[in-house]
Chains A and B, each alone.
Chain A
Amino acid sequence: MSTLTSDLAQELETGRTHPSSRPQRRGQRRIRSRLGKAAMYVLLVVLLAVVLLPFIWMLSSSFKHDNQVLTVPIQWIPREFVWSNYQNIWTQVPMAGYLMNSAILAVVITFLQVLTGSFAAYGFSKVRFPGRDALFLTYIATIAVPWQAYMIPQYMMMQKAGLTNTFLALILLQAFGAFGVFLMRQYYMTIPDELNEAARIDGLSDYGIWARIILPLSKPALASLALLTFVNTWNDYMGPFIYLSSNELWTVQIGLRSFIGQYSAQYAMIMAGSVISIVPILVIFLAGQRYFISGIATSGMKG
């Protein structure tokens, strides 16, 4: 499975597919296949345009005046480029603060999730002790329970502890997810146990093996988990919405949502804010798309 997913990931990156061993045909057929290829590209480009249309529209609208956003007929390219939306948004709403809050939450939660997740995954895959598998099953079982089903007890706990309207509530709720343990364990299971035994003979303790051997070997899985967690936290709406009530703690998502409520007619600036909220995700995604896709393929296929 891991070879398959890494194949897929590599392939998604390079666009190579397994060489097909079908017989090559010549002459007319080649011309026809070239035509077919061209038609395929046209089809793909049209498809891509349709799928990405909302983004194109968002970007184009963010450079318009408010009254030019919803016009008949649609202007796909703004008549004049209005850069002021991207300047004014920082003063009209505390956008920089929102971005900062989102970044803090995403970094802290991702760090804790990756650290404790990979640490626990070692215990679940490389150390044998009674009760281990039953415990792991408990982890899996909670993945199957919809989050909405236990959001009320979580909220009651946080209220009792006086942690509502703090970052700590969100960090505690999201940093110890079962998903991270699951994803990392699936990867560690593919690392042969002989490595552990060899390292133990060389005098390494389990902690040493985790730090010096398993962690370096599992870089792709760590990257998958880190990227998925970061993006999930960055995009999370319900968590901050339920727990964070003061404006200075709001994340980009909450800030953007309230911005629509306050300035519902400032379409262009709303679009500029949306673009700003997506840019970090786009950068991270482009840098690590391979890991996103292999992470999804691994957790999905093995779940």
Chain B
Amino acid sequence: MTTITERRDSAAPPSGAPARRTASRRMRRRSILVGWSFILPNFLGFALFTLIPVIAAFVLAFMHWDAYNPPTWAGFSNFVRLFGDDNFHVALSNTLLFALGHVPLTLAISLGLALLLNQKLRGIAFFRVAIFFPYITSLVAIAIVWNMLFDPTSGPINQFLHLIGIANPPGWTASTAWSLPAVIITAVWRDMGYYMVLFLAGLQAIPQEYYEAASVDGAGRWRQFWNVTLPSLRPTTFLVLVLLSVSSFKVFDLIFVMTQGGPGRATLVLSQLIYQDGIINGQFGYSSAISLVLFVIVLIVTVFQFRIQQRRER
């Protein structure tokens, strides 16, 4: 850091009286000192426990490093091993399937909720706050209660399905085929309030005049939605899409508490595989390679969505 500042200092234009120059240099040095003194307490912790681990994760991915043997350079062999790792294939496809269900469902439902709750009605605030509440509830409690709601024989959900005439309701978290949909439903229920808040903020930023102009032009509510609301919401929708996809690919604790990746490997996702291989089995290098893949996926999805957004705006 100091090298940069010194270089900049010496590169400063040589104009002005030397006395003023030393004065301004002293000022600058003071502001560097003051600035760093503010940042340092947080930066020390941040550098040590976030920044260094982030960098280390990238290096580790290219090393053979486990709990028992001395570390050696591995090149790309960890990644080659990933190709043949059946657990990795399962976890990757489960993660993608989870995102495929979670992202569009949450997006649609949270937008719907925001539209519905963006009205001037007495007491509407209560409804908004209540729908937001699941998002900040303790995850373990959510996982426990939904596991019981999903109980195949006497859980309330299957009782309801029986009631509306479905003779053979799914086994949910007890079956390999339906456990992923079960965790997706739980995740959508938990997250929709959060994204609804973002959509509400977006909706309220749309100038009322747009709607007035549209209704003068004779546009009905449906037309207004398509021609005013949706286009004006585009930045918000984009933001929600990015946040939602990233959170989908990172999904871990909810599934881990609900099903522990089971039954079998039916809900094993990438994050859990990193945890298993790294922390349980002590394969630090190999599991870092998996985390690098996870990071690259998140990055690609984000960049891809940015591209689409830019093309649309052109």
Enumerate chain B residues within 8 angstroms of A172, measured Cβ to Cβ. 45, 48-49
On whether the beta carbons of A178 and B197 are closer than 8 Å, the reply is no
On whether the beta carbons of B45 and A281 are closer than 8 Å, the reply is no
On whether the beta carbons of A153 and B129 are closer than 8 Å, the reply is no
User: Does residue B274 face the partner (Cβ distance < 8 Å to A)?
Assistant: yes
Enumerate chain B residues within 8 angstroms of A274, measured Cβ to Cβ. 138, 140-141, 144-145
User: Does residue B53 face the partner (Cβ distance < 8 Å to A)?
Assistant: yes
On whether the beta carbons of A154 and B49 are closer than 8 Å, the reply is yes
19 contacts between A and B (CB under 8 A): A15-B124, A17-B120, A51-B134, A52-B133, A54-B146, A54-B149, A123-B38, A124-B39, A135-B39, A149-B291, A150-B57, A152-B274, A153-B284, A156-B284, A176-B45, A238-B275, A271-B144, A292-B136, A300-B197
On whether the beta carbons of A178 and B46 are closer than 8 Å, the reply is yes
Count, chain B residues at interface, CB 8 A = 105
B-facing residues in A259-303 (Cβ within 8 Å): 260, 267, 270-271, 274-275, 277-278, 281-282, 285, 289, 292-293, 296-297, 300-301, 303
How far, in whole Å, are A289 and B133 apart by their CA atoms in the complex? 9
A-facing residues in B3-55 (Cβ within 8 Å): 4-5, 8, 28, 31-32, 34-39, 41-46, 48-54
On whether the beta carbons of B116 and A47 are closer than 8 Å, the reply is yes
**Residues of B bordering A, CB below 8 Å:** 1, 4-5, 8, 28, 31-32, 34-39, 41-46, 48-54, 56-57, 60, 113, 116-134, 136-142, 144-146, 148-149, 151, 153-156, 159, 189, 194, 197-198, 200-202, 204-205, 208, 212, 215, 236, 239, 243, 246, 249-250, 252-253, 256-257, 270-271, 274-275, 278-279, 284, 287-288, 291-292, 294-295, 298-299, 302
On whether the beta carbons of B136 and A175 are closer than 8 Å, the reply is no
How far, in whole Å, are A69 and B151 apart by their CA atoms in the complex? 11
How far, in whole Å, are A84 and B161 apart by their CA atoms in the complex? 33
Could you tell me the distance in whole angstroms from the C-beta of B164 to the nearest C-beta in chain A? Answer: 14
User: Does residue A26 face the partner (Cβ distance < 8 Å to B)?
Assistant: no
On whether the beta carbons of B45 and A116 are closer than 8 Å, the reply is yes
On whether the beta carbons of A74 and B159 are closer than 8 Å, the reply is yes
On whether the beta carbons of A237 and B257 are closer than 8 Å, the reply is yes
On whether the beta carbons of B145 and A4 are closer than 8 Å, the reply is no
Q: Which of A21, A275, A301 lies at the interface centre, i.e. has the most chain B CB atoms within 10 A of its CB?
A: A301
Given contacts A129-B36, A152-B57, A267-B148, contact A301 B284 (CB under 8 A): no
How far, in whole Å, are A296 and B197 apart by their CA atoms in the complex? 8
How far, in whole Å, are A156 and B136 apart by their CA atoms in the complex? 30
Main secondary structure of the interface of A (DSSP, over half): helix
Q: Which of B118, B202, B279 lies at the interface centre, i.e. has the most chain A CB atoms within 10 A of its CB?
A: B279
What is the chain A residue whose CB lies nearest that of B129?
Answer: A289
Main secondary structure of the interface of B (DSSP, over half): helix
On whether the beta carbons of A176 and B204 are closer than 8 Å, the reply is no
How far, in whole Å, are A37 and B119 apart by their CA atoms in the complex? 10
On whether the beta carbons of B156 and A74 are closer than 8 Å, the reply is yes
Enumerate chain A residues within 8 angstroms of B140, measured Cβ to Cβ. 237, 252-253, 256-257, 274, 277
User: Does residue A12 face the partner (Cβ distance < 8 Å to B)?
Assistant: yes
Q: Which 10 A-B pairs have the closest CB atoms?
A: A176-B45, A123-B38, A120-B42, A274-B141, A116-B42, A17-B120, A15-B125, A153-B56, A153-B53, A127-B35
Interface residues on A, range: 35 or more
Enumerate chain B residues within 8 angstroms of A54, measured Cβ to Cβ. 134, 142, 145-146, 149, 189
On whether the beta carbons of B50 and A148 are closer than 8 Å, the reply is no
Enumerate chain B residues within 8 angstroms of A11, measured Cβ to Cβ. 125, 204
Could you tell me the distance in whole angstroms from the C-beta of A257 to the nearest C-beta in chain B? Answer: 5
B-facing residues in A88-140 (Cβ within 8 Å): 115-117, 119-120, 122-124, 127-132, 135, 138-139
On whether the beta carbons of A285 and B133 are closer than 8 Å, the reply is yes
Select one of A120, A152, A301 contacting B41, CB under 8 A. Answer: A120
User: Does residue A142 face the partner (Cβ distance < 8 Å to B)?
Assistant: yes
Select one of A123, A285, A289 contacting B35, CB under 8 A. Answer: A123
Given contacts A54-B145, A72-B159, A274-B145, contact A119 B129 (CB under 8 A): no
